[in-house]
Homo-oligomer: A and B are copies of this chain.
Amino acid sequence: MAGAVTQSGVVVQNIERADKDIIAALGACGVATVHEAQGRKGLLASYMRPIYSGARIAGSAVTISAPPGDNWMVHVAIEQVQAGDMLVLAPTSPCEDGYFGDLLATSMQARGGIGLVIDAGVRDVRDLTEMGFPVWSKAVFAQGTVKETLGSVNVPVVCANQLVNPGDIIVADDDGVCVVRREEAEAVLETARAREAAEEDKRKRLAAGELGLDIYNMRGRLTDKGLKYV
């Protein structure tokens, strides 16, 4: 669940986006690494699951605050989409309806949009899978929606328990979804790469049979805390 943080009935047309190379590099790092690199923040709730396995992408957030059971604003939002963007939809109260299907995905792809994160339902998942249009959602549900009530586009929203600003970077893969502040993207990427490098060395040592207890020097501190071997 979520809802716009600000007022309703507004479309913000010019949003700032991060550098495309940084976005792509964050996507390559993946959710777990990026999440750690930015101090363990920004993860959307664990109920946000991909409709198919194997996608790993990152894009700029075009945000949607939508009433329950009303997908009108999705059409409005797609006009704001640029190449490399992802839609992030937060209903104003909890809803599982299928706001999005293959026609809207066709429209997204025509404009260069690359994915959807929705704290509600999605449908036509077989078609979306064939189209290679990844979606992370709370539910798969064919329930249709109406087009009667305004919401907003490109305002800050709370989606699956995280604040997402328009233009923030969304990183998504089989582990879920993570949001990175636009202004922190470069610093997070740097930390993520350092983390990856450090992990590579540890992976080799662990694969060779060394224990984390020794690699990370944990034994002394465990003893200090009172751990007893019996």
Residues of chain A touching chain B, judged by Cβ–Cβ distance below 8 Å, are 1-13, 30-32, 35-36, 39-43, 45-46, 49, 52-54, 56, 67-70, 72, 75-76, 78-79, 92-98, 101-104, 106-107, 109-111, 121, 123-126, 129, 139-144, 146-150, 156, 158, 161-163, 173-176, 178, 199, 202-203, 206-209, 211-213, 216, 218, 222, 225-230
Contact = CB atoms under 8 A, between A and B. Distances in A.
A126 B175 contact: yes
Given A146-B148, A158-B158, A230 B104 contact: no
A93 B69 contact: yes
B150 A226 contact: yes
Nearest to A45: B1
Contacts of A147: 218
Contact of A206 (B106, B124, B150, B202): B106
B103 A202 contact: yes
A126 B56 contact: yes
Contacts of A173: 126
9 contacts: A1-B45, A3-B161, A11-B227, A30-B126, A43-B141, A43-B142, A67-B69, A140-B175, A149-B225
Given A13-B230, A68-B97, 17 more contacts: A1-B45, A3-B162, A8-B40, A9-B228, A32-B123, A40-B143, A43-B93, A46-B121, A68-B68, A72-B218, A75-B211, A93-B97, A94-B96, A146-B148, A148-B149, A150-B222, A156-B163
A209 B128 CA distance: 18
